[in-house]
Amino acid sequence: MMEFENPFAFFLLLLVPLLYFLRYLKLFRGITFPLTLSDWHGASFDWRQGGFGFLSVLARVLAVCAYACAVTAYAGPVVRHQQKVYSSRGADIVFVVDTSPSMAAKDIGGMTRLDAAKQAIRLLADSDGGDSFGLVEMARDAAVSVPPTMDRNVFFDKIDKLVVGGLGDGTAIGTGLSCALFHLERSGSERRCIVLITDGENNAGSISPYTAARLVREKQVSLYVLGIGTRGSVPLEYVDPKTGRMYSGYLKSEYDSQTLSKIASEADGKFFTVESLNALAHAFDSVARNESVAQSYRVRNYDTGYYGAFLLAAACFACLAWVIRRVLLQEVL
C-alpha cells in the first residue's frame, strides 16, 4: 500500500477550490475591458463557442491534474516493503523433471503433465523463501538447468524455459538422479532432498536408476518420486523445439508405477501416484512438511519512492494544457 512521507502537503490542494471561489466572487480575476462589436442600433456580435468551449474546460482540468500530481509528488509517495534476510541455511531441494514427449499429455486438471509440474514447483518455491532450489531437466539425457540457489528470479526463469522434447525422447532416470546428487552431496544444508517427477519408465542413459537411488540413500539425501499421469488414452500435442514440427494425437498412457515405487524404496524415500491436481498438491505438501528447517532471520525494511512518476505525470498534464491553450485555442494571456 502506498504511504506518504509528508501527508500535510495535501492541504495545498485546497488552494484549487479557493481560487475558483475567489474568481466566482470576482475578487481574483484578470482585468477585462468591454468591447462592443455591433453596428449602430444593430445586432450585436454573437460568439459561438462550438468545440472551443470543451477545449477550454479540458485545459483547465489538465492544469488541475498537473497541480494535483505535483502536490502528490511533494507529499512523498512511497511503497514500504519487508524482506526476510536469513542468517541460517534452509533445505536444499533439487527437482528432476521429465521433459520427454509424453509429458505433453493433457490429463492433469486440463493441463499438460509438464505444465502442472511447473506450476506446483513455482508455488512451493514461492511460498518458502528460506530454502534453496535447483533444477535438473531429464529426457534421453539429463542436464542441470540451475544448481541449488536462493535466487528465485533465476530459478523461475529456468522453470519457465522447460519445454517438452528439449532433450529428446526417452527417460534417463538414473542419469537425472545422479546429476541432482552431484550438486547435493557437498551441500552443507541440514536437509537435502531430490524430487523426481516423471511419467515413464527408465529407457535411456547408462546409469541404473536403482544404483543411483542407493547412492542417494548412502549420501543421506531424501528422495520423493512422483509418478504423474493417468492411464488410458489421453490427448497429446506439442511442438518439437529442434525441428519446429507439431505432433498431435492420443497417447496410450501406462507408466510403470512398480518400478518408480521400487526406486523410491531403494533410497528409503516416498512414492506418490499423481493423477490430479489435488494429488500433486498433496505430494508437494508432504515435501514441504518433511523437509522444513527452522531458520533464523531478520526483517529488512526498504521503501520504493514514486516521486519521479508523479512529477512526470504533472509535466505531461501541464504540457497538454499548454498545447491546448496556446496552439488550439491560440490564447495569448
pLDDT at position 317: 94
Classify each residue of 103-114 as buried b or exposed e, where b means 16 or more C-beta atoms within 10 Å of its C-beta.
bbbbbbeeebbb
pLDDT at position 202: 79
Q: Residues 197, 171: contact at Cβ < 8 Å?
A: no
Q: Residues 114, 104: contact at Cβ < 8 Å?
A: yes
Q: Between 293 and 323, where is the model more confident?
A: 323
Distance CA 119, CA 127 (A): 12
User: Domain residue spans in the chain?
Assistant: 91-291
Pick the CATH number of 91-291 from 3.40.50.410, 3.30.1330.60, 3.40.228.10, 3.50.50.60: 3.40.50.410
Distance CA 193, CA 200 (A): 21
- pLDDT tens figures, 61-115: 999 999 999 999 999 899 888 766 665 677 889 999 999 888 888 888 888 999 9
99, with CB counted inside 10 A (0-12, 13-18, 19+), is buried
- pLDDT tens figures, 247-288: 888 888 777 788 889 999 999 999 998 888 999 999 999 888
Kindly state the percentage of the chain with pLDDT values over 90. 34
CA-nearest of 38, 319, 12 to 327 is: 319
- pLDDT tens figures, 160-196: 999 988 888 888 999 999 999 998 888 878 888 999 9
pLDDT at position 333: 46
* Beta strands 132-138; 92-98: pairing state: parallel
pLDDT at position 258: 85
Q: Residues 158, 94: contact at Cβ < 8 Å?
A: no
Strand partners, 228: 274
Give the residue carrying C-alpha cell 512414492: 271
Q: Between 36 and 231, where is the model more confident?
A: 231
Say whether pTM exceeds 0.85: no
Q: Residues 141, 100: contact at Cβ < 8 Å?
A: no
